[in-house]
Every structure is written in C-alpha cells, then in structure tokens.
C-alpha cells in the first residue's frame, strides 16, 4: 500500500512468505526467509500506529442492485460525481494510495445500522450521474477512482458500503468495486467474480 502498486514475487519467495505466516518453517529457516523478504522490501518492521480496526470480512456478491429503471438524473448530481472523481484522482496523485485507503478506514461508519438514506435509491442515482461524467473521465481503467468516489458520495449522503479490490494472476489484472454485504453496487457479477479480493475497506 505504501508503494501504491501491485507486484508479484518469485515462487520460492512466495513459499517462504507463506511458511512464515503459517509458522511451518523451522526457526532458523523462517528467520532467514524473513530477513530475505525484509531486505527485498516485501515485509517491513511493525510500527506503533495506534489502535486499528479489525479487517472487514469479504462476502462474495450474489446480487446486484443497479437498476436502470430506478435511476434519476440531476445536473447537480452529475457535477458532484465529476467533482468527487477529480478529488479522488488528486488525492491519489498528491498523497498516494495508502493515504486514500486510510481516509476511507477512518470515515467508515461500521455496521450498516445507522444509515439515513435508502442506499439502493442513492446508488442508482449516483451510478447514473457517473455515466454522464464519462465525457470528461473515461470509465476505462478508472474503476478505483470511480469506486472510491462512489463510496465517498454514499457515506456523505448518510449511507455506507465497502470498497473491494481484487486481482487475477494469469494474466495479471486488478479491479475495484463497491458492495454492501452480498449486494454489488456498481458493477456486474460476471465481471467481479473473476477477481480474488485482496483488500476490503
């Protein structure tokens, strides 16, 4: 996250990494493997960063709630969607991926029990607005920006959801989307099912 990029490691390093996590390797071998991974920048020393939240559990999406018939278009909403995407892009460029993810963690509302809006209605309106912003910000290769912007808009409106980032290995690709429990909010089930989640915020 600090590097703001995805990468893969050689198979032998992957084995050492998994053995370190599982505690299966002998102590000397584990120490050697760990030192090699630290030297390569794959692992780093723990730092006192204060209290942290437990990781969000991932629930595989099984339904979708983006309904074209329920979408309401407002110019003000389109402008908000455009502004939020530009804001996210600026934050990623100026502060980096780790800052943006940490900001999402700090602003997360927790369990979906205190929402002040109908999430489905809001998301349908937001998605429609995002479609209208494609004249300025293409959908292609901007799934991370669009998803973070959608989540920020939803939380600002009094709702909530989770950002999910997933990857595929061969060939390598990455994708981001927003969901609420098992409900997918801004993508298609066929699209997201090919990705293995690596981060849920």
Range of the domain at 29: 10-46
Task: Round to whole Å and give the CA distance between 200 and 75.
Answer: 31
Query: Across the strands, what pairs with 76?
Result: none
Is residue 121, in this structure, part of any structural domain at all?
yes
Same domain? 101 vs 166: yes
Is residue 79, in this structure, part of any structural domain at all?
yes
Same domain? 119 vs 38: no
Same domain? 79 vs 155: yes
Same domain? 134 vs 40: no
Q: Indicate whether 20 pLDDT > 90.
A: no
pLDDT at 106: 84
pLDDT at 178: 93
pTM: 0.77
| CA-closest candidate to residue 53, choices 104, 98, 3, 127 | 104
Structure tokens at 47: 């730092």
Is residue 189, in this structure, part of any structural domain at all?
yes
pLDDT digits (tens, 9 = 90+) for 103-140: 998 877 555 545 555 666 778 888 888 888 887 777 77
Max mean pLDDT among 5-19, 40-54, 74-88 falls in: 74-88
* Inter-CA distances, 33 with 1, 12, 17, 25, 42, Å: 22, 10, 7, 9, 11
Is residue 52, in this structure, part of any structural domain at all?
no
pLDDT digits (tens, 9 = 90+) for 46-59: 665 555 556 667 78
SS3 (DSSP) at 145 = helix
pLDDT at 109: 59
Same domain? 122 vs 37: no
Is residue 57, in this structure, part of any structural domain at all?
no
Run of H or E including 69:
none
| CA-closest candidate to residue 111, choices 62, 65, 54 | 54
Respond yes or no on whether the N-terminal peptide bond of residue 171 is cis (omega within 30° of 0). yes
Q: Indicate whether 29 pLDDT > 80.
A: no
Is residue 4, in this structure, part of any structural domain at all?
no
Is residue 101, in this structure, part of any structural domain at all?
yes
| Residue 152 CA to its chain's centroid (Å) | 12
């Amino acid at each position: 996250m600090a590097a703001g990029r995805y990468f893969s490691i050689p198979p032998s390093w992957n084995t050492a990494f998994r053995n370190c996590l599982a505690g299966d390797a002998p102590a000397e071998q584990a120490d050697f493997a760990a030192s090699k991974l630290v030297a390569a920048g794959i692992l780093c020393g723990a730092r006192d960063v204060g209290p942290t939240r437990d990781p969000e559990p991932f629930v595989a999406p099984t339904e979708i709630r983006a309904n074209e018939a329920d979408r309401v278009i407002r110019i003000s909403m389109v402008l908000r969607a455009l502004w939020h995407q530009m804001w996210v892009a600026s934050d990623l460029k100026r502060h980096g991926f780790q800052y943006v993810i940490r900001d999402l963690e700090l602003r997360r509302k927790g369990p979906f029990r205190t929402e002040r809006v109908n999430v489905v209605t809001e998301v349908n309106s937001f998605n429609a607005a995002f479609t209208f912003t494609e004249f300025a910000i293409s959908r292609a290769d901007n799934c991370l920006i669009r998803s973070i912007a959608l989540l920020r808009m939803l939380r600002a409106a009094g709702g909530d959801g989770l950002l999910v980032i997933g990857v595929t290995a061969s060939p390598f690709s990455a994708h981001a989307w927003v969901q609420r429990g098992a409900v997918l909010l801004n993508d298609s089930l066929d699209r997201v099912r090919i990705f293995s989640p690596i981060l849920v915020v």
